[in-house]
Structure 1
Amino acid sequence: MRVSTAIFAGGCFWCLQKVFDQTDGVIRTTVGYTGGRLKNPTYEKVSAGIGGHYEAVKVEYNTEKISYEELVKVFFKNIDPTNPYGQFCDIGKQYETAIFYSNDTEKKIAEKLKEKLEKANITVNTKILPVSEFYEAEEYHQKYYLKYPKEYNYYYEHSQRASATEMFKRIEKILAKEP
């Protein structure tokens, strides 16, 4: 088995972690903070917008079962790439969307899929950035959807993500088309 890592910021890291945990070929996910200037950030600081970090998910995956391109597609199908200010009810830089690449191949894949959506008249505000130091979030945030299912479900339903299914389906259809 060959394992690789990808990092995505898609608003609330709880929601994105659940999606990737349910993706075949994903071995492990960790929620945390990346892309900022503050060393050893905490949830309190990041959620207050201090330090410039994104809430993000580190995805470890088996490259024999899923490709980086497929992971980027999963990411795009579960965010609102048109929002430049955050995701759904979460507003602020820490909730903006970004794909963090670790090499030129990953960068080209992310750019290709972003361009594909833009050609279909979807304005994509997702940034494509080089990987930077990833700081693991506090333990109570890891697998939040499993530890606190009532609280997670309440958040998910009231965050506007649950009502975005038509947009998610449209993005999925666009990304499924051959170039």
Structure 2
Amino acid sequence: MTNNNKSVATFAGGCFWCMVKPFDQWEGVYSVISGYTGGEIKNPSYEQIKTGNTGHRESVQITYDPERISYETILDLYWTQIDPTDPDGQFQDRGPQYQTAIFYHDEDQRMLAEKSKEELQKSDRFNQPIVTEILEASDFYPAEEYHQDFYIKNPEEYKKDREQSGRDEFIERNWK
């Protein structure tokens, strides 16, 4: 979705704490909000989401200037933060609320997401299928305030969580 030099991209990549910082530090990114999308319950809480029964996924919604950072670049950043072959969650976080997905906001985003997924599959970087879903964006609900900018507000807990998750080791092994 584009409006007055502002576009929105939405991704699920496991624990949203780990998905903010990689996007937050790029020129042209206005904001990265942790939240929930893809489910049926209106205004869900973290307590509801963590059950895995709401249909929502922990997600980030990125508002950016498409003249300064392209959707293709944001897609490239996204892929390098996840294990796109894991159908059951991400790293230490298991369950449907942690499954990966690209939520497209318009037909251009859908086509670019499909193309990037296809290119990743053809790259043979992974010896398993790419299972990240590409889904139409639905209502996005910002997470509770204590989840926002977690890496800034709680740097030690953030660092510990990333270390325990195995995410950084996976990224180093598969993307560097």
Find out whether 1:144 has 2:147 as its counterpart.
no
Query: Structure 1 residue 168: deviation in Å?
Result: 2.1
Query: Structure 1 residue 166: deviation in Å?
Result: 1.6
Find out whether 1:67 has 2:74 as its counterpart.
no
Residue number in structure 2 paired with 1:57: 60
Q: Which moved more, 1:17-26 or 1:92-101?
A: 17-26
Aligned equivalent of 1:133, options 109, 120, 139: 139
AA paired with 1:57? V
Contact map agreement 1:12 1:55 (CA 8 A) in 2: yes
Aligned equivalent of 2:117, options 77, 93, 114: 114
Separation in 1, partners of 2:145, 2:66: 27
Residue number in structure 2 paired with 1:14: 17
TM-score (normalizing by structure 2)? 0.93
Contact map agreement 1:79 1:87 (CA 8 A) in 2: yes
Query: Structure 1 residue 104: deviation in Å?
Result: 1.1
Aligned counterparts, 1:21-100, within 5 A:
21-100=24-103
Contact map agreement 1:79 1:168 (CA 8 A) in 2: no
Query: Structure 1 residue 39: deviation in Å?
Result: 1.2
Q: How many residues align?
A: 169
Separation in 2, partners of 1:85, 1:12: 13
Separation in 1, partners of 2:105, 2:63: 13
CA deviations 1:80-138 (Å, max 9, x no partner) are 10101010110111100000001111101000010011112332110000010000100
Aligned equivalent of 1:156, options 134, 155, 162: 162
Aligned equivalent of 1:167, options 129, 152, 174: 174
Q: Which moved more, 1:77-86 or 1:114-123?
A: 114-123
User: Which runs of structure 1 show a deviation greater than 3 angstroms over 4 or more consecutive aligned residues?
Assistant: none
Query: Structure 1 residue 50: deviation in Å?
Result: 2.5
Question: SS in structure 1 opposite 2:101?
Answer: strand
Percent identity between the two aligned chains: 49
Separation in 2, partners of 1:124, 1:133: 25
Separation in 1, partners of 2:81, 2:36: 19
Question: SS in structure 1 opposite 2:109?
Answer: helix
Contact map agreement 1:28 1:59 (CA 8 A) in 2: yes
Question: SS in structure 1 opposite 2:39?
Answer: coil
Residue number in structure 2 paired with 1:124: 130
TM-score (normalizing by structure 1)? 0.92
AA paired with 1:63? P
Question: SS in structure 2 opposite 1:99?
Answer: strand
Query: Could you say what the CA RMSD is over the residues aligned between the two structures, in angstroms?
Result: 1.0
